[in-house]
């Protein structure tokens, strides 16, 4: 069985973070393992608090899984602090982890901050250069290249500036743009490829970013190339958003098994 690793934070509400990642990997028939960086007290209404794991425990979790399991891909989500990013980067190099998808999680859908400000430089310098693909949303893309959040910048410009940070591919997600379509743009330094779906008219998008990046890691683990992995993942996230899970009182999570049920 193909194996993938998520290195991310726990969402007690079950819609984002580690929980979304493992559900996504399972939906694709990939064996998912997890290294937990932080535990959030979270639901569909927001993040009520979080604590980070000790550096020693993050280090130990990484050694435990990387010395035993055989990962064909991995993803990072909430990394919270500079020190955690440094440990993760060190282990990625030490174990030569391939097909690394870096989702530079900074803020939850609810607006709560999940990454310390000083850690932005660390993620740029130490982790992004090791990535096969990075998957920032619009705001994360602007923050990473030092632009003002309020500034209008095209997806092409964001992708080409981000590519200079050293990942092999950049996928800028346009979920937060306005318009009838949700457009994501992939760039490998040579060609731009758009992935377009009809925008679903919903506020229930908790976990979309986590789910998309895990889907990409799962498909890379299955042996698809990046373009095909993104295509399959875009289809998966669109169906997951359309189906939704009506479980909470805020921004509800996506339905990770929408496509799996339709196989019946």
Ligand X SMILES: Nc1ncnc2c1ncn2[C@@H]1O[C@H](COP(=O)(O)OP(=O)(O)O)[C@@H](O)[C@H]1O
Ligand Y SMILES: Cc1ncc(COP(=O)(O)O)c(N)n1
Out of 44, 72, 99, 109, the only residue in the binding site for ligand Y (CB under 6 A) is 109
Instruction: Name the residue with the smallest CB distance to ligand Y.
Output: 17
CA distance 223 to 94: 23
CA distance 106 to 53: 17
Catalytic annotation present for 210: yes
Closer of 16 and 215 to ligand Y (Cβ)? 16
Closer of 26 and 160 to ligand Y (Cβ)? 26
Of 76, 67, 25, 65, nearest to 222 by C-alpha is: 25
Output the DSSP codes for 128-168: GGG-SEE--BHHHHHHHTT--TTS---HHHHHHHHHTTS-S
CA distance 4 to 27: 13
Closer of 154 and 202 to ligand X (Cβ)? 202
Output the DSSP codes for 95-111: TT--SEEE----B-TTS
Part of the chain binding ligand Y (CB under 6 A), chosen from 106-114, 118-126, 219-227, 229-237: 106-114
204 makes contact with ligand Y (CB under 6 A): no
Looking at the DSSP bridge assignments, the partners of residue 88 are none
Closer of 126 and 184 to ligand X (Cβ)? 184
Catalytic annotation present for 205: yes
Closer of 38 and 87 to ligand X (Cβ)? 38
Cα separation values, 223 from 32, 34, 40, 227, 234, Å = 15, 20, 32, 12, 17
Closer of 88 and 212 to ligand X (Cβ)? 212
Which of ligand X, ligand Y, none sits in contact with 77, Cβ below 5 to 8 A by type?
A: ligand Y
Catalytic annotation present for 245: no
Choose, from 2, 75, 173, 234, the residue flagged as catalytic. 173
Catalytic annotation present for 86: no
Looking at the DSSP bridge assignments, the partners of residue 50 are 40
Which of ligand Y, ligand X, none sits in contact with 11, Cβ below 5 to 8 A by type?
A: ligand Y
Asked if residues 232 and 240 have their Cβ atoms less than 8 Å apart, the reply is no
Out of 2, 6, 9, 256, the only residue in the binding site for ligand Y (CB under 6 A) is 9
Catalytic annotation present for 52: no
113-132 mask for ligand Y (x: CB under 6 A)? Answer: -x------------------
205-224 mask for ligand Y (x: CB under 6 A)? Answer: -xxxxx--------------
Cα separation values, 100 from 28, 29, 75, 171, 221, Å = 17, 19, 6, 13, 10
14 makes contact with ligand Y (CB under 6 A): no
Tokens of 140: 């994360």
Catalytic annotation present for 207: yes
Of 212, 206, 210, nearest to 229 by C-alpha is: 212
16 makes contact with ligand Y (CB under 6 A): yes
- Catalytic sites, residue numbers: 173, 205, 207-210
Interface residues with ligand Y (CB under 6 A)? 8-9, 11, 16-17, 40, 42, 77-78, 105, 108-109, 114, 206-210
């Amino acid at each position: 069985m193909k194996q993938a690793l998520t290195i991310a934070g726990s969402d007690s509400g079950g819609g984002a973070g580690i929980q979304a990642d493992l559900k996504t990997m399972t939906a694709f028939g990939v064996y998912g393992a997890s290294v937990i960086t932080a535990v959030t007290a979270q639901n569909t209404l927001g993040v009520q608090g979080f604590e980070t794991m000790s550096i020693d425990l993050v280090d130990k979790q990484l050694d435990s899984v990387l010395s035993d399991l055989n990962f064909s891909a991995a993803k990072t989500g909430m990394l919270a602090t500079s020190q955690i990013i440094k440990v993760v980067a060190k282990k990625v190099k030490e174990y030569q982890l391939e097909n690394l998808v870096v989702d530079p999680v900074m803020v939850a859908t609810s607006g709560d901050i999940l990454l310390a400000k000083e850690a932005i430089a660390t993620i740029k310098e130490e982790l992004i250069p090791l990535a096969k693909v990075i998957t920032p949303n619009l705001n994360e893309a602007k923050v990473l290249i030092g632009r003002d959040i309020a500034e209008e910048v095209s997806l092409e410009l964001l992708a080409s500036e981000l590519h200079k940070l050293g990942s092999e591919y950049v996928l800028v997600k346009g979920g937060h743009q306005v318009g009838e379509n949700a457009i994501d743009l992939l760039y490998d330094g040579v060609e731009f490829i758009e992935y377009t779906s009809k925008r679903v008219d919903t506020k229930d998008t908790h976990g979309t970013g986590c789910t998309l990046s895990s889907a990409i890691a799962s498909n890379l683990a299955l042996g698809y190339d990046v373009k095909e992995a993104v295509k399959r993942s875009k289809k998966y996230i669109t169906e997951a958003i359309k189906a939704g899970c009506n479980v909470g009182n805020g921004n509800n999570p996506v339905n990770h098994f929408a496509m799996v049920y339709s196989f019946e």
